[in-house]
Amino acid sequence: MIFGDSKAPCAELVVIGDEVVSGLILDRNSQYLGEKIHELGIEVSRITTVGDSASVIEDCVKLALKRSDWVVMTGGLGATHDDITKSVLLKVFECGLKKDSKVASMLEEMFRFRGCAVPGMVRSQFEVPEKAEILYNEKGTAPGFKMRQGKTILFSLPGVPREMQYLFEKYVAPEMAAQKNKTFLHRLIKTTGISEADLWAKVGPLESLQEKAAIASLPSHLGVRIRISTLAESRPEGESRLDEVEGFLAQRLSRYIYGKDEEGLEEKVGALLKGKSLTLATAESCTGGLIGHRLTQVSGSSDYYKEGFVVYSNEAKVARLGVDPKLIEEFGAVSEPVAQAMAEGVCRVTGADIGVSVTGISGPSGGSDLKPVGLTFIAVHDRSGTCCKKFIFTHDRIRNKERSAQAALDLVRLMIQGEVEI
């Protein structure tokens, strides 16, 4: 249960569809619902995925109604032959169908706007379970349902993500929020440049922290996110707990923490550049412009991002950035001297205050014993000098590009903060 509270309300998700079970589509609905429900202070105890089998769905729903306070179903509410959720609900709740005039008028208006009559198959959506409270769907043709058995409330939502999210936010979330008696708060601390194992080794024992908040480690190839969550009697109490845990983590991980919640690394770098009235230029080889792309995803980046070069070939490095061809001949394009020359060259050519460069072997081919796939050099130059770091990533080309861009942005962050040695 959440934070060891055995009395915390419990929700269960039931995802329906052969296309989900077979892997033809990714189940993003349960990811969305799990996060949103958890933020309401309600534990999601189970997520069950079932195919389009009436008997399997029926068994699953009956079990869920017995053991959970809330059941949220998605899928199977359309008007085709494999949409059988409605018929299962009729059986579980022992009721028949009735025509809902509001659903009918909404669909008639929808198709009138499209210039046609409601198709015969879609007219089946007019019919709804007699015991259901209708969740009117302005984003699609399938209404959702709210049904109750004892103390358990079941919501049945369409499987189309846009429609599901609309109905959840309009009907489900407000009702769940009204039933809770505690305040749920969370923060997301974002780190990069350190492995998950090394990160937690630096943090040390967590027992005292876990008495105040739940701490989740969320690693990816770009870094480790730390989610701290608490269920408190009031918002001030919850904020105080989060402040204490965040402060403890910041003391031990300050070099690696670049942001929290929705803040991205490119936003952090942009804020640092803007705050010090600095400009940045990029010189990219193996990342193919990904660093520049990420920087320009931030509104207002023209204030500090001067320009960027994609110098993929050796000739481009020489012609655009003035890299000495003898460096390439002696050390190779993927080397520390060339990375340094690229960073220095892009500053010289553009007049930017800071230049960042990246050159590497993204793979899966092109490596050797001396220079394996994943070998990458990243350099940052400013008026105080040049810093270059060597990395060896993986054999995955896309991930290597993403990790290289992440490491380059982080090196710029550390350079601006004065945390790198020249």
State both tokens at 374: 């994943």
The answer to whether residues 242 and 269 belong to one domain is no
The answer to whether residues 60 and 140 belong to one domain is yes
Q: 11-23: per-residue pLDDT in tens? A: 999 999 999 999 9
Residue 79 is assigned to a structural domain of this protein? yes
Residue 219 is assigned to a structural domain of this protein? yes
Render 219-251 in DSSP notation, one character per residue.
EETTEEEEEEEEEESSHHHHHHHHHHHHHHHHH
Residue 422 is assigned to a structural domain of this protein? no
The answer to whether residues 141 and 209 belong to one domain is no
| Rounded Cα gap, residues 100 and 284, in angstroms | 60
What average pLDDT score do residues 297-307 get? Answer: 97
CATH of the domain at 33: 3.40.980.10
Count of domains observed in the chain: 3
Q: 149-198: per-residue pLDDT in tens? A: 999 999 999 999 999 999 999 999 999 988 777 788 889 999 999 999 99
State both tokens at 352: 């930017």
Q: Is the pLDDT of residue 3 over 60?
A: no
The answer to whether residues 53 and 152 belong to one domain is yes
3-state secondary structure 189-212: EEECCCCHHHHHHHHCCCHHHHCC
Domain boundary among 179, 203, 220: 179
The answer to whether residues 310 and 241 belong to one domain is no
Tell me how far CA of residue 29 lies from CA of 41, 73, 195, 339, in angstroms: 19, 10, 30, 44
Q: 356-401: per-residue pLDDT in tens? A: 999 999 999 988 989 999 999 999 999 999 999 999 999 999 999 9
The per-residue pLDDT for 7 is 60
Edge-first strand listing for the sheet containing 10-16: 43-50, 10-16, 70-74, 152-157, 144-149, 133-135
In which domain, by residue range, is 164 found? 2-179
Q: 199-247: per-residue pLDDT in tens? A: 999 999 999 888 889 899 999 999 999 999 888 888 899 999 999 999 9
Residue 418 is assigned to a structural domain of this protein? no
What average pLDDT score do residues 314-325 get? Answer: 97
**Dihedral in degrees, nearest 10, Cα atoms 58, 61, 63, 65:** -140
What average pLDDT score do residues 128-155 get? Answer: 96
Residue bearing tokens 């967590």: 206
Q: 90-119: per-residue pLDDT in tens? A: 999 999 999 999 999 999 999 999 999 999
The answer to whether residues 73 and 137 belong to one domain is yes
The answer to whether residues 188 and 120 belong to one domain is no
The per-residue pLDDT for 350 is 97
The per-residue pLDDT for 1 is 42
Determine contact, residues 416/384, Cβ cutoff 8 Å: no
State both tokens at 214: 């739940």
CATH of the domain at 296: 3.90.950.20
Nearest to 213 by CA among 246, 259, 251, 181: 246
CATH of the domain at 245: 3.30.70.2860
The per-residue pLDDT for 164 is 97
- Is pTM beyond 0.85 here? no
Q: Is the pLDDT of residue 5 over 60?
A: no
Q: Is the pLDDT of residue 40 over 90?
A: no
Residue 421 is assigned to a structural domain of this protein? no
List, in order, residues 6 or more apart from 133 with CB less than 8 Å away. 145, 146, 147
The answer to whether residues 247 and 350 belong to one domain is no
Please tell me which residue, 315 or 7, carries the higher pLDDT value.
Answer: 315
Residue 218 is assigned to a structural domain of this protein? yes
Domain boundary among 244, 260, 276: 260
**Average pLDDT over all residues of the chain:** 94
The answer to whether residues 165 and 306 belong to one domain is no
Please tell me which residue, 418 or 82, carries the higher pLDDT value.
Answer: 418
Q: Helix 235-253 to helix 196-203 angle, to the nearest 10 degrees? A: 110
Backbone phi, then psi, for 413, in 5-degree steps?
A: -55, -50
The answer to whether residues 167 and 23 belong to one domain is yes
Please tell me which residue, 199 or 5, carries the higher pLDDT value.
Answer: 199
With bands split at pLDDT 50, 70 and 90, how would you rate the model's confidence at 261? very high
Residue 420 is assigned to a structural domain of this protein? no
The answer to whether residues 90 and 233 belong to one domain is no
| Rounded Cα gap, residues 166 and 137, in angstroms | 8
Residue 16 is assigned to a structural domain of this protein? yes
The amino acid present at 258, given as its one-letter code, is Y
State both tokens at 82: 């494999």
Nearest to 280 by CA among 415, 189, 104, 145: 415
The answer to whether residues 171 and 319 belong to one domain is no
**Sequence-ordered strand ranges (E) for 119-180:** 127-129, 133-135, 144-149, 152-157
Domain boundary among 179, 209, 241: 179
